[in-house]
Amino acid sequence: MPDPVQTVHQALDSFRIETPSWGYSDTGTRFGKFHQPAAAIDLDDKLADAAHVHRLTGCCPTVAAHVLWDFAPGTDPAVVASKAAALGIGIGSINPNLFQDQIYKLGSVGSPFENARDQALAHIIDCIKLGQVTGSRAVSLWFADGTNYPGQDSIRARKQRFEAALKEAHSHLSADQVMLVEYKPFEPAFYQTDLADWGMSFLTAKKAGPQAKVLVDTGHHYNSQNIEQIVAWLLDEEMLGGFHFNDRRYADDDLTLGSIDPYQIFRIFHEIHGFARERGAYPEIEYMIDQSHNLKPKIEAMLQTVCTAQELYAKAALVDHEALSAAQRKGNIVDAEICLKKAYNTDVTAMLGDWRVGRGLAADPLQAHRASGYTEKAAAERAKRRQDLGIATEHSYA
Ligand code: PSV
Ligand code: MN
């Protein structure tokens, strides 16, 4: 077994994770929003917050954009990209919005209405072009499409409409772009979701073309579903394109990564390290966070997530693969499991701290953020701007 410090440092050297623009602004649930004085108001604030997180962690060089929420009509994506670059970050995945326009009531590319399908496809193609201007690698597709009642629409017709649309969209990708196809078992459709699981995303991506891959949002699974098995299968088929990280207890996805089940994330990373070891290289995977915090301070939650991801990725790199395969060959289940548990139980805090200090970063990004006064400064400035703009602000318990 090589030196653990070296193993952890090597693993961290290549680990990058993208933060979402929507995680910095006031977002909530459909039941309500709780405002935070330091929340980002506009895209400039979101870019500033994402750059701050990258400055503290050194591993978040890109920020995901949700087109409708971030690019007001008339926004020049080249200007946005250069603003981001001036702050030391880049625009990452481009997320089309295929669910909020009134025309999408019965779906987007799966809709029975041709004009809705045409609008959705045109928007995806626009997003592909936008990504070419911003230098983004991924166009990340999530569809709210589905039906709410049995008989509402033909399930097979919807499947075919998806296949045709994604195939057409794929033909607009440039050689260095990738199309990520996300799945979700339910919500907002509650009878049938068009892309409800990894198999449906897999098949649709395969039919779209070679640059389409599956996106695994950790929150989009039923309770007790074995996500690392899905990851292992997708890796083996070279169809794993990326992750949306978060955690969950019941439905959906806005809890902090690893807050409920950190061992699950470790097991996912273990599959990736094992695959890379076998193939001699890591596959190109977009690691992205998909969380909008309604209760936790937004930047703190983001830092907590990034540090948790690094920690679990590092721990998973420590699995002794020689010992593991020896135990597996002997059918020694107990020793095999101990290999995973031993790595998982290793305290990597000091190794992570050293890695950061070696890169001129603070050993603890969260503490460094708290000491920086960033939130207080942002809160003062943004609260005033919010007032001037007449935007709702936080409740005072004082
Ligand atoms: C849908 O629940 C989802 O996971 C998709 O990725 C959306 O783009 C994102 O959440 C919006 O927060
Ligand atoms: Mn997602």
Domains and CATH numbers, the chain: 14-389 (3.20.20.150)
Q: What b/e readout covers 49-61, taking b as 16+ CB neighbours within 10 angstroms?
A: bbbbbbbbbbbbb
**Ligand 1 pocket, residue 244 CB under 6 Å:** yes
Give 92 Cα–ligand 2 centroid separation in angstroms.
14
Instruction: Give pLDDT tens digits for 275-294.
Output: 999 999 999 999 999 999 98
Cα 66 to averaged position of ligand 2 atoms, centre (Å): 11
pLDDT at site 31:
82
pLDDT exceeds 90 at position 324: yes
Q: Whose CA is nearest to atom 5 of ligand 1?
A: 142
What are 292-307's pLDDT values in tens digits? 998 999 999 999 999 9
Q: What is the pLDDT of residues 216-255, one digit of tens each?
A: 999 999 999 999 999 999 999 999 999 999 999 987 768 9
Q: Decide if pLDDT at 334 tops 70.
A: yes
What amino acid is encoded at 311 in this protein? E
DSSP state of 396: P
Atom 8 (ligand 1) nearest CA: 142
Q: State the average pLDDT over residues 258-283.
A: 97
* Statement: residue 90 has pLDDT above 90: yes
- SS3 category, 220: coil
Check: CB of residue 49 under 8 Å from CB of residue 38. no
Q: Which of 124, 290, 291, 298 to mutate to test the pocket of ligand 1 (most atoms within 8 A of CB)?
A: 290
Which pair of tokens denotes residue 393? 């602000």
Within the chain, how many helices (H) and strands (E) appear? Answer: 15, 10
**Residues 29, 184, 66, 297: what is their CA dihedral angle, to the nearest 10 degrees?**
40
**Average pLDDT of the residues of the chain:** 96
Task: Give pLDDT, residue 250.
Answer: 86
State the closest ligand 1 atom to the C-alpha of 219, by its place in the atom list counted from 1: 4
For 100-133, write each residue's pLDDT tens digit. Answer: 999 999 999 999 999 999 999 999 999 999 999 9
pLDDT of 52 > 90? The answer is: yes
What is the C-alpha to C-alpha distance for residues 121 and 164, in angstroms, rounded to an integer?
Answer: 10
At residue 398, does pLDDT exceed 70? no
pLDDT at residue 173 greater than cutoff 90: yes
- CB count within 10 Å of CB 237 equals 12
Give DSSP secondary structure letters for 293-314: -SSS-HHHHHHHHHHHHHHHHH
> Once rounded to an integer, what is the mean pLDDT over residues 313-319?
98
C-alpha triplet 304, 307, 309: angle, nearest 5°: 105
Indicate if the pLDDT at residue 167 is higher than 80. Answer: yes
Counting ligands in written order, the one closest to the CA of 97 is 1
Average pLDDT, integer, range 138-155: 98
Q: Please report which ligand is nearest the Cα atom of 217.
A: 2
Residue with CA nearest ligand 1 atom 1: 142
Whether pLDDT at 84 is above 90: yes
Amino acid 394 reads: E
Which of 369, 277, 361, 263 lies closest to 311 in space, CA to CA?
Answer: 263
Token representation of residue 343: 């790595």
CA proximity to 309, closest of 78, 69, 4, 19: 19
Which residues, other chains included, contact 219 with Cβ-Cβ below 8 Å and sequence gap of 6+? Answer: 244, 246, 247, 248, 252, 253, 254, 255, 290
Looking at residue 263, what is its pLDDT?
98
pLDDT of residue 101: 97
